[in-house]
């Protein structure tokens, strides 16, 4: 194993960042062995120094630029979320010739061209496996399908809406199911991103961009909200042996690709119909491959940290 350690810095130490820090504290031997060299978590940037965290003993700072300027940090892991200041910090990381790993679906989906161009100019890597379906290596999987002409992509890409739908099948109203999702830690205090489909649209746009090799903007995804749905629609579907799930669908026609997210009926026996919480399901139909299915935990700190560390290890192995 090469003796030269590679430094990692975290922008954010919330649900995901803390899980990454815990993994560095608890399983560094496994991570170093996979990377073929020692990896060190150098520091993390946060907003509030007083907030209690379960994140090992990583040094914290309220100045994210200190992470960018630290000469011991070669890989910046952005787990802040949002586009501001995350976007500027990702571009600044490339300017300082750092690699970037991010879980930020909104940033990657909206600023695809800018972040890819910045990585290309800096000759550094940009990786974002965690941005879609957390632990499920669907981005790596789809990157391996360059020769395939995709026909249809269907996905259950948002655990909060799956949970709400499954609770409404039991007769709960939308508001009751949303309150349960919040209490169970699935939904954020502001559930807009999930229930109005922004989160699913960002993820779908990223998958389409990978399959098509060019930016597909999330504004081109037709979004239907889950808010207006009545419990009777879900109980009615259940009585017919069906389920309603918040689906993300891309139809790769001969001309333009059509993409949509919203509630749709699926069979109760399907993987989508059986999912009740954070399980994501992604199905791709295309020539050469017929039908491929990925499924697994699409949210949660540890599941997301798994994908982030996979990206960090891949960068370390690439020898830069
Ligand atoms: N949670 C999941 O299951 C999941 C799954 C896949 C992808 N993701 C993505 O991962 C990212 C992080 O999600 P999360 O759930 O970990 O969010 P979170 O719990 O809200 O954590 C965000 C972290 O960023 C810090 N932060 C925010 N703005 C900052 C600023 N201006 N300066 C310094 N620090 C700042 C916060 O500091 P404080 O702690 O001091 O407030 C916090 O530590 C998002 O892009 C999200 O979409 C999350």
Distance 104 CA to ligand 1 centre (A): 9
Residue with tokens 């907003």, as numbered in its chain: 47
Distance 242 CA to ligand 1 centre (A): 36
Residues 223 and 181 in one domain: yes
Residues 199 and 269 in one domain: yes
Distance 12 CA to ligand 1 centre (A): 5
3: pLDDT strictly greater than 70 = no
Asked if residue 72 belongs to a domain, the reply is: yes
169: pLDDT strictly greater than 80 = yes
Residues 130 and 163 in one domain: no
| Contact of 32 with 39, CB cutoff 8 Å | yes
- Which 8-state DSSP code applies to residue 82? S
Asked if residue 213 belongs to a domain, the reply is: yes
What is the residue-averaged pLDDT of the chain?
96
pTM of the model: 0.97
Residues 206 and 310 in one domain: no
The tokens for 209 are: 């961009």
* 75: CATH: 3.40.50.720
Residues 142 and 129 in one domain: no
Residues 291 and 307 in one domain: no
Cα–Cα distance for residue pair 158/156, rounded to 1 Å: 6
- Cα–Cα distance list, 174 to 2, 300, 310 (Å): 55, 23, 37
Structural domain including 272 reads: 138-297
Taking only the tens place, the pLDDT of each residue in 256-282 is 999 999 999 999 999 999 999 899 999
Number of domain units in the chain: 2
Residues 245 and 287 in one domain: yes
pLDDT the model gives residue 152:
98
Residues 272 and 307 in one domain: no
Q: Is 13 in the pocket of ligand 1 (CB under 6 A)?
A: yes
Work out the angle at residue 79's Cα, subtended by the Cα atoms of residues 120 and 316, and round it to the nearest 5 degrees: 50
Nearest CA to ligand 1 atom 5: 299
Nearest atom in ligand 1 to 81's CA: 45
Residues 111 and 94 in one domain: yes
- Cα–Cα distance list, 43 to 27, 69, 194 (Å): 17, 12, 31
Q: Is 85 in the pocket of ligand 1 (CB under 6 A)?
A: yes
Residues 153 and 291 in one domain: yes
Most ligand 1 atoms within 8 A of CB, residue of 12, 160, 297 to mutate: 12
How many helices and strands in the chain, by DSSP H and E? 14, 12
Residues 96 and 198 in one domain: no
Residue 252 φ/ψ, nearest 5 degrees? -90, 85
Asked if residue 30 belongs to a domain, the reply is: yes
* Mean pLDDT value of segment 87-104: 98
Distance 15 CA to ligand 1 centre (A): 7
Asked if residue 66 belongs to a domain, the reply is: yes
Q: Is 159 in the pocket of ligand 1 (CB under 6 A)?
A: no
Nearest atom in ligand 1 to 199's CA: 47
pLDDT the model gives residue 187:
81
Q: How confident is the model at residue 1 (pLDDT cuts 50, 70, 90)?
A: low
pLDDT the model gives residue 144:
96
pLDDT the model gives residue 223:
98
* 260: CATH: 3.30.360.10
Q: How confident is the model at residue 2 (pLDDT cuts 50, 70, 90)?
A: low
30: pLDDT strictly greater than 80 = yes
Exposed, middle or buried, 136 (CB in 10 Å: 0-12/13-18/19+)? buried
Q: Which residues are catalytic?
A: 203
Asked if residue 252 belongs to a domain, the reply is: yes
Residues 152 and 108 in one domain: no
Q: Is 79 in the pocket of ligand 1 (CB under 6 A)?
A: yes
Asked if residue 22 belongs to a domain, the reply is: yes
Nearest CA to ligand 1 atom 21: 14
320: pLDDT strictly greater than 80 = no
Taking only the tens place, the pLDDT of each residue in 12-22 is 999 999 999 99
Extended strands (E) in 137-235: 150-156, 221-223
The tokens for 188 are: 């954020």
Distance 57 CA to ligand 1 centre (A): 18
Asked if residue 212 belongs to a domain, the reply is: yes
Q: Is 12 in the pocket of ligand 1 (CB under 6 A)?
A: yes
* Mean pLDDT value of segment 195-224: 98
Asked if residue 1 belongs to a domain, the reply is: no
3-state secondary structure of 21: helix
* Mean pLDDT value of segment 240-249: 97
């Amino acid at each position: 194993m090469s003796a030269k350690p590679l430094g990692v810095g975290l922008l954010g130490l919330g649900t995901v960042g803390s899980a990454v820090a815990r993994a560095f504290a608890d399983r560094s031997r496994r991570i170093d062995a996979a990377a073929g060299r020692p990896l060190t978590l150098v520091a993390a940037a946060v907003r509030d120094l007083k907030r209690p965290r379960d994140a090992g003993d990583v040094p914290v700072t309220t100045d994210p630029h200190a992470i960018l300027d630290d000469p011991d940090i070669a890989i910046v892991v952005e787990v802040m979320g949002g586009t501001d200041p995350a976007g500027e910090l990702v571009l600044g990381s490339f300017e300082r010739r750092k690699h970037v790993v991010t879980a930020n679906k909104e940033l990657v989906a909206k600023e695809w061209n800018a972040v890819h161009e910045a990585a290309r100019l800096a000759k550094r890597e940009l990786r974002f496996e965690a941005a879609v379906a957390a632990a499920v290596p669907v981005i790596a999987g789809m990157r391996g399908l360059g020769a395939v002409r995709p026909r249809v992509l269907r996905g259950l890409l948002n655990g909060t809406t799956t949970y709400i739908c499954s609770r409404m099948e039991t007769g709960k109203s939308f508001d009751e199911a949303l309150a349960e999702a919040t209490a169970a830690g699935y939904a954020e205090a502001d559930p807009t991103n999930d229930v109005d489909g922004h989160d699913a649209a960002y993820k779908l746009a990223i998958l389409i961009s990978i399959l098509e090799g060019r930016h597909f903007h999330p504004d081109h995804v037709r979004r239907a909200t889950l808010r207006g749905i009545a419990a009777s629609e879900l109980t009615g579907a259940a009585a017919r042996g069906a389920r309603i799930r918040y689906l993300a669908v891309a139809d790769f026609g001969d001309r333009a690709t059509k993409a949509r997210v919203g509630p749709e009926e699926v069979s109760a026996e399907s993987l989508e119909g059986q999912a009740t919480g954070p399980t994501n399901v992604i199905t791709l139909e295309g020539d050469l491959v017929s039908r491929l299915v990925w499924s697994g935990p699409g949210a949660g700190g540890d599941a997301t940290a798994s994908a982030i560390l996979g990206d960090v290890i891949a960068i370390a192995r690439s020898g830069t």
